[in-house]
Chain A
Amino acid sequence: KAGVTQTPRYLIKTRGQQVTLSCSPISGHRSVSWYQQTPGQGLQFLFEYFSETQRNKGNFPGRFSGRQFSNSRSEMNVSTLELGDSALYLCASSLDDFHSGNTIYFGEGSWLTVV
Protein backbone atom coordinates (compact mmCIF):
# COMPACT_ATOMS: atom_id res chain seq x y z
CA LYS A 1 0.00 0.00 0.00
CA ALA A 2 1.10 3.59 -0.52
CA GLY A 3 3.08 5.17 2.30
CA VAL A 4 2.97 8.63 3.78
CA THR A 5 3.45 11.19 1.01
CA GLN A 6 4.97 14.59 1.63
CA THR A 7 5.30 17.48 -0.80
CA PRO A 8 7.38 19.28 -1.74
CA ARG A 9 10.52 17.25 -1.05
CA TYR A 10 12.90 20.17 -1.26
CA LEU A 11 12.42 23.89 -1.09
CA ILE A 12 14.41 27.04 -0.52
CA LYS A 13 12.83 30.12 1.01
CA THR A 14 14.02 33.56 1.98
CA ARG A 15 13.99 34.85 5.55
CA GLY A 16 10.64 36.50 6.31
CA GLN A 17 8.66 34.46 3.80
CA GLN A 18 6.12 31.80 4.69
CA VAL A 19 5.92 28.16 3.62
CA THR A 20 3.22 25.51 3.45
CA LEU A 21 4.05 21.80 3.52
CA SER A 22 1.61 19.05 2.64
CA CYS A 23 1.15 15.49 3.91
CA SER A 24 -1.09 12.68 2.69
CA PRO A 25 -1.33 9.89 5.28
CA ILE A 26 -1.62 6.18 4.60
CA SER A 27 -5.12 5.32 3.43
CA GLY A 28 -7.39 4.76 6.43
CA HIS A 29 -5.10 6.51 8.91
CA ARG A 30 -6.78 9.39 10.70
CA SER A 31 -3.95 10.54 12.98
CA VAL A 32 -1.32 12.82 11.43
CA SER A 33 1.58 14.31 13.33
CA TRP A 34 4.46 16.59 12.35
CA TYR A 35 8.07 16.66 13.53
CA GLN A 36 11.05 18.90 12.93
CA GLN A 37 14.47 17.25 12.60
CA THR A 38 17.72 19.20 12.91
CA PRO A 39 21.28 17.97 13.53
CA GLY A 40 21.45 19.72 16.89
CA GLN A 41 18.02 18.98 18.35
CA GLY A 42 17.10 15.72 16.68
CA LEU A 43 13.43 14.98 16.11
CA GLN A 44 11.04 17.30 17.91
CA PHE A 45 7.26 17.07 18.00
CA LEU A 46 5.33 19.94 16.42
CA PHE A 47 1.64 18.92 16.58
CA GLU A 48 -0.81 16.09 16.04
CA TYR A 49 -4.24 16.03 14.41
CA PHE A 50 -7.06 13.52 14.47
CA SER A 51 -10.34 14.00 12.64
CA GLU A 52 -9.47 17.64 11.94
CA THR A 53 -8.82 18.40 15.63
CA GLN A 54 -5.42 19.29 17.08
CA ARG A 55 -4.92 17.01 20.09
CA ASN A 56 -1.44 18.06 21.13
CA LYS A 57 1.09 20.77 20.29
CA GLY A 58 4.81 20.86 20.91
CA ASN A 59 6.89 23.68 22.28
CA PHE A 60 7.23 25.77 19.12
CA PRO A 61 6.33 29.44 18.54
CA GLY A 62 2.99 30.44 17.09
CA ARG A 63 4.62 30.92 13.67
CA PHE A 64 4.22 27.17 13.29
CA SER A 65 0.66 26.10 12.58
CA GLY A 66 -1.15 23.23 10.99
CA ARG A 67 -4.49 21.87 9.99
CA GLN A 68 -6.12 18.65 8.88
CA PHE A 69 -8.81 18.24 6.27
CA SER A 70 -11.81 15.92 6.25
CA ASN A 71 -9.91 13.42 4.06
CA SER A 72 -7.15 13.28 6.73
CA ARG A 73 -4.63 15.13 4.56
CA SER A 74 -2.70 17.69 6.56
CA GLU A 75 -0.76 20.86 5.98
CA MET A 76 1.66 22.77 8.15
CA ASN A 77 2.57 26.40 7.73
CA VAL A 78 5.52 28.37 8.97
CA SER A 79 5.23 32.15 8.75
CA THR A 80 7.96 34.77 8.96
CA LEU A 81 10.69 32.25 8.31
CA GLU A 82 13.94 32.45 10.25
CA LEU A 83 17.31 30.92 9.39
CA GLY A 84 16.86 28.50 12.30
CA ASP A 85 13.77 27.03 10.68
CA SER A 86 15.98 25.23 8.17
CA ALA A 87 15.30 21.56 8.85
CA LEU A 88 13.76 18.33 7.66
CA TYR A 89 10.04 18.40 8.37
CA LEU A 90 8.56 14.96 8.81
CA CYS A 91 4.95 13.87 8.74
CA ALA A 92 3.77 10.67 10.38
CA SER A 93 0.47 8.82 10.27
CA SER A 94 -1.15 6.09 12.32
CA LEU A 95 -4.46 4.35 12.84
CA ASP A 96 -4.29 5.36 16.50
CA ASP A 97 -6.28 2.31 17.46
CA PHE A 98 -4.89 1.39 20.87
CA HIS A 99 -6.49 -2.02 20.98
CA SER A 100 -5.03 -3.21 17.70
CA GLY A 101 -1.59 -1.82 18.31
CA ASN A 102 -0.04 1.47 17.47
CA THR A 103 2.32 1.71 14.52
CA ILE A 104 3.42 5.16 13.44
CA TYR A 105 4.81 5.53 9.91
CA PHE A 106 6.85 8.43 8.64
CA GLY A 107 7.10 10.02 5.24
CA GLU A 108 10.37 10.93 3.52
CA GLY A 109 10.11 14.51 4.72
CA SER A 110 10.33 17.99 3.25
CA TRP A 111 13.76 19.61 3.29
CA LEU A 112 13.39 23.32 3.99
CA THR A 113 16.34 25.66 3.59
CA VAL A 114 15.92 29.28 4.67
CA VAL A 115 18.44 31.73 3.23
Chain B
Amino acid sequence: EDQVTQSPEALRLQEGESSSLNCSYTVSGLRGLFWYRQDPGKGPEFLFTLYSAGEEKEKERLKATLTKKESFLHITAPKPEDSATYLCAVQAAGGGSNYKLTFGKGTLLTVNP
Protein backbone atom coordinates (compact mmCIF):
# COMPACT_ATOMS: atom_id res chain seq x y z
CA GLU B 1 0.00 0.00 0.00
CA ASP B 2 1.28 3.45 -0.91
CA GLN B 3 2.24 5.63 2.06
CA VAL B 4 3.22 9.27 2.45
CA THR B 5 4.57 10.80 5.66
CA GLN B 6 5.17 14.52 6.01
CA SER B 7 7.28 16.22 8.65
CA PRO B 8 7.13 18.33 10.64
CA GLU B 9 3.38 18.52 11.23
CA ALA B 10 3.72 22.22 11.96
CA LEU B 11 6.52 24.72 11.41
CA ARG B 12 6.74 28.31 12.59
CA LEU B 13 9.32 30.58 10.95
CA GLN B 14 10.30 34.20 11.13
CA GLU B 15 10.10 36.15 7.90
CA GLY B 16 13.30 35.54 5.97
CA GLU B 17 14.21 32.37 7.88
CA SER B 18 14.73 29.61 5.28
CA SER B 19 13.77 26.00 6.00
CA SER B 20 12.70 22.70 4.43
CA LEU B 21 9.66 20.47 4.59
CA ASN B 22 10.05 16.72 4.23
CA CYS B 23 7.90 14.16 2.45
CA SER B 24 8.85 10.48 2.79
CA TYR B 25 7.06 8.00 0.60
CA THR B 26 6.66 4.31 -0.09
CA VAL B 27 5.24 3.33 -3.44
CA SER B 28 5.64 0.28 -5.68
CA GLY B 29 6.56 2.41 -8.67
CA LEU B 30 6.44 6.18 -8.81
CA ARG B 31 4.54 7.89 -11.61
CA GLY B 32 4.77 11.32 -10.02
CA LEU B 33 5.19 13.17 -6.73
CA PHE B 34 3.05 16.25 -6.27
CA TRP B 35 3.28 19.28 -4.01
CA TYR B 36 0.26 21.43 -3.26
CA ARG B 37 -0.41 24.48 -1.13
CA GLN B 38 -3.75 24.75 0.66
CA ASP B 39 -5.11 27.87 2.32
CA PRO B 40 -7.89 27.57 4.94
CA GLY B 41 -11.29 26.89 3.38
CA LYS B 42 -9.89 26.45 -0.13
CA GLY B 43 -8.92 23.63 -2.44
CA PRO B 44 -5.29 22.59 -2.91
CA GLU B 45 -3.31 24.78 -5.28
CA PHE B 46 -0.89 22.94 -7.57
CA LEU B 47 2.79 23.75 -7.09
CA PHE B 48 5.00 21.03 -8.64
CA THR B 49 5.11 17.54 -10.11
CA LEU B 50 8.38 15.62 -9.89
CA TYR B 51 8.85 12.43 -11.89
CA SER B 52 12.29 10.94 -11.22
CA ALA B 53 15.04 10.96 -8.60
CA GLY B 54 17.36 13.90 -8.98
CA GLU B 55 14.73 16.17 -10.47
CA GLU B 56 14.36 19.70 -9.09
CA LYS B 57 11.77 22.40 -9.78
CA GLU B 58 11.57 26.00 -8.61
CA LYS B 59 8.85 28.60 -8.30
CA GLU B 60 9.54 31.94 -6.66
CA ARG B 61 10.78 31.16 -3.12
CA LEU B 62 9.99 27.44 -3.38
CA LYS B 63 12.22 24.64 -4.63
CA ALA B 64 11.21 20.98 -4.69
CA THR B 65 13.67 18.10 -4.92
CA LEU B 66 13.17 14.35 -5.24
CA THR B 67 15.12 11.24 -4.24
CA LYS B 68 14.04 7.60 -4.42
CA LYS B 69 12.58 7.74 -0.92
CA GLU B 70 11.73 11.36 -0.15
CA SER B 71 11.09 14.83 -1.42
CA PHE B 72 11.96 18.17 0.11
CA LEU B 73 10.24 21.49 -0.32
CA HIS B 74 12.78 24.20 0.39
CA ILE B 75 11.46 27.64 1.27
CA THR B 76 13.96 30.46 0.87
CA ALA B 77 13.44 33.76 2.71
CA PRO B 78 9.74 33.11 3.35
CA LYS B 79 7.17 35.85 3.66
CA PRO B 80 3.96 35.88 5.74
CA GLU B 81 1.94 35.19 2.57
CA ASP B 82 3.69 31.80 2.32
CA SER B 83 1.76 30.69 5.41
CA ALA B 84 -0.41 27.72 4.43
CA THR B 85 -0.63 23.95 4.67
CA TYR B 86 1.71 22.22 2.23
CA LEU B 87 0.57 18.83 0.99
CA CYS B 88 2.64 16.11 -0.62
CA ALA B 89 1.07 13.31 -2.68
CA VAL B 90 2.28 10.37 -4.76
CA GLN B 91 0.80 8.80 -7.83
CA ALA B 92 1.84 5.20 -8.34
CA ALA B 93 2.50 3.61 -11.69
CA GLY B 94 0.54 0.64 -12.92
CA GLY B 95 -3.07 -0.47 -12.95
CA GLY B 96 -5.71 1.51 -11.14
CA SER B 97 -3.07 3.22 -9.03
CA ASN B 98 -2.28 5.39 -12.04
CA TYR B 99 -5.44 7.27 -11.39
CA LYS B 100 -5.28 8.32 -7.76
CA LEU B 101 -3.17 10.43 -5.44
CA THR B 102 -2.16 9.25 -1.98
CA PHE B 103 -1.67 12.28 0.28
CA GLY B 104 0.32 12.95 3.40
CA LYS B 105 -1.32 14.77 6.31
CA GLY B 106 0.45 18.02 5.42
CA THR B 107 2.75 20.54 7.09
CA LEU B 108 1.16 23.68 8.50
CA LEU B 109 3.60 26.51 7.85
CA THR B 110 3.27 29.80 9.71
CA VAL B 111 5.58 32.70 8.79
CA ASN B 112 5.62 35.54 11.28
CA PRO B 113 6.48 39.11 10.18
Binding site for B on A (CB under 8 A): 4, 6, 31, 33, 35, 42-45, 48, 50, 55-58, 90, 92, 96, 98, 101-109
Whole-angstrom CA separation of A107 from B49 in the bound complex = 18
Number of interface residues of B (CB under 8 A): 24
The prevalent SS among residues of A at the interface is strand
Question: Restricting to B82-113, which residues have a CB under 8 Å from any CB of A?
Answer: 87, 89, 91, 96-106
Interchain CB contact under 8 A, A90 and B101 = no
Assembled-state Cα–Cα distance A92/B98 (Å): 14
Task: Give the chain A neighbours of B91 by CB distance below 8 A.
Answer: 102, 104
* CA gap between A31 and B98 in the complex, in Å: 11
In chain A, what residue has the closest Cβ to B93?
Answer: A98
Which B residues lie at the A interface, using CB under 8 A?
A: 31-32, 34, 36, 42-46, 49, 87, 89, 91, 96-106
Residues of A within 8 A of B46 (CB): 103-106
In the complex, what distance in Å separates the CA atom of A66 from the CA atom of B87?
25
Q: A90-B44, A103-B49 are in contact. Are A45 and B102 (CB under 8 A)?
A: yes
CB distance from A51 to the nearest CB of B (A): 12
Q: Which residues of A contact B36 (CB under 8 A)?
A: 106
A55 CB to nearest B CB, Å: 5
